[in-house]
Amino acid sequence: MAKKLRVGVVFGGRSGEHEVSLRSATSIINAMDKKKYDVVPIGITKEGRWLTSGEATKLLPGEVMAGKTEDIALFGDPTKRSLVRMGSKGEATGNEKIDVIFPVLHGTFGEDGTIQGLFDMADIPYVGCGVLGSSCGMDKVIMKNLFRQAGIPMGEFTWFLRTAWDKDRKRILNKVAKEIGLPAFVKPANLGSSVGISKAKTKAELERAIDTAAKFDRKILVEKAINAREIEVSVLGNDEPVASLPGEIVPGEDFYSYSDKYVTDAAKLEIPAKLSKKLATEIQKLAVKAFQAIDGSGLSRVDFFLERDTDRILINEINTLPGFTSISMYPKLWEVSGIPYSELIDRLIALALERHKEKARSQFKI
């Protein structure tokens, strides 16, 4: 019998998307084949404390595992490739080998390349995009510039720094009016799950929306509102990625907000989306192109607008660590495309090991 892989599932984190991460992690841990994997739960509190076993799973909405409580750490030491168990006085008390890490961290410090850099330093394979893909996929301004360079069509946008807003609000409001107009969407450049996003129809609403976004990030993005259907595609793979069938979000509110996603459950998912074969194929091609534009690996969900009057396809954004509950769009799209949830987890772990092996071929010493 093949040796079981020890998989560290990392969840929680110092992010506004902490609770979303807990939901995803619960689904993943419950769905993992325990005959193939020894699951090591790794919870990160909102304060940044790393925990494992029983204390880690107390963070989850419904206890999925039990065990001895331990504080842990991960050091960037490639000779260890393990978690370090910590004593009550902060001293190292032992190591726990990890074969691969499945990060289920959304937003800041989890989806932005920071923790991926730690995994690389520790030389531990991990699911999902690397440092570059994660950081480019997190910053919506950098992301859009890369999409533009790749020739992927998108709507009009502008951006500015929080310090510029603090210094001269009138100038920024005039800039938005000139370059974008109203109605418009205002977003923190480096958050997901619709945290901090507002739709502004008037100048007063625009000012309030910018204030809201500025609470969450130093960089603020403003996009022209588009009368469009919201289409999403899941991408899977490393150097030869493939796209799922597209799905459609039908918002229950004026737009697909945080409340719509996680509180009221008013939004509806059309899976697969009702599209012509020609449109579906073109959207799939653009999803793969977007994934490659940021040097993606493992998984991503790519979101599009389909303009209602023209059927023009415009990219919205890419999410390198999308929601992963059993009813989230990413796994649901693969389910209708022929890959069930538990098999999708297997494939992502295999892709993580494949990517790590490929990176190991590179020479780091001269």
Domain spans of the chain? 5-126, 137-154+227-337, 157-224
| pLDDT for 265 | 59
- 10 Å CB burial of residue 30 (0-12, 13-18, 19+) is middle
Can you tell me the mean pLDDT for 153-179? 96
Token code pair at residue 245? 């069938």
Could you report the per-residue pLDDT of 49-100, keeping only the tens digit for each? 888 865 556 667 654 444 455 788 898 889 888 888 887 777 777 888 899 9
Place of tokens 């807003």: 165
Contact 361, 150 (CB under 8 A): no
| pLDDT for 54 | 57
Token code pair at residue 67? 């065990």
The least confident of 15-19, 99-103, 356-360 is: 15-19
Can you tell me the mean pLDDT for 335-340? 97
Burial 133-155 (b: 16+ CB within 10 A, else e): bbbbbbbbbbbbebbeeeebebb
| pLDDT for 58 | 63
How far apart CA 91 and CA 233 sit, in angstroms, is 46
> No. of H helices and E strands in the chain?
12, 17
Contact 235, 287 (CB under 8 A): yes
| pLDDT for 359 | 94
pLDDT at 203 over 80: yes
Contact 106, 81 (CB under 8 A): no
| pLDDT for 56 | 56
Rg (C-alpha) for the chain, rounded Å, is 21
Can you tell me the mean pLDDT for 196-200? 92
Burial 81-101 (b: 16+ CB within 10 A, else e): ebbbbbeeeeeeeeeeebbbb
Residues in the chain: 366
Q: Which of 255, 302, 245, 296 is nearest to 275 (CA)?
A: 245
pLDDT at 257 over 70: no
pLDDT, mean over the chain: 90
pLDDT at 324 over 90: yes
> End-to-end alpha-carbon separation of the chain, Å?
40
- Rounded (10°) CA dihedral 70, 89, 18, 186: -160
Can you tell me the mean pLDDT for 238-253? 91
Instruction: Give the whole-number percent of the chain exceeding pLDDT 70.
Output: 90
- Rounded (10°) CA dihedral 207, 211, 213, 217: 130
Residue 77: CB atoms within 10 Å: 12
Could you report the per-residue pLDDT of 310-320, keeping only the tens digit for each? 999 999 999 99
Q: How many CA atoms lie within 13 A of 17 on its CB side?
A: 27
How far apart CA 204 and CA 196 sit, in angstroms, is 17
Domain 5-126 has CATH 1.10.1660.10: no
Contact 50, 44 (CB under 8 A): yes
pLDDT at 145 over 90: yes
Handedness of CA 319, 321, 323, 325 (dihedral sign): positive
Q: Name the band, by pLDDT with cuts 50, 70 and 90, for residue 16.
A: confident
How far apart CA 33 and CA 36 sit, in angstroms, is 6
How far apart CA 273 and CA 241 sit, in angstroms, is 21
- Report pTM: 0.90
| pLDDT for 47 | 87
| pLDDT for 259 | 47
Q: Name the band, by pLDDT with cuts 50, 70 and 90, for residue 364.
A: confident
How far apart CA 251 and CA 213 sit, in angstroms, is 21
Contact 314, 224 (CB under 8 A): no
| pLDDT for 19 | 86
What lies within 8 Å, CB to CB, of 178 at 6+ separation is none
Specify the CATH superfamily of domain 157-224: ATP-grasp fold, A domain (3.30.1490.20)
The angle subtended at Cα 39 by Cα 36 and Cα 41, nearest 5°, is 165
Query: Which CATH topology does 137-154+227-337 take?
Result: D-amino Acid Aminotransferase; Chain A, domain 1 (3.30.470)
Beta-bridge partners for 224? 184
The least confident of 94-98, 137-141, 342-346 is: 94-98
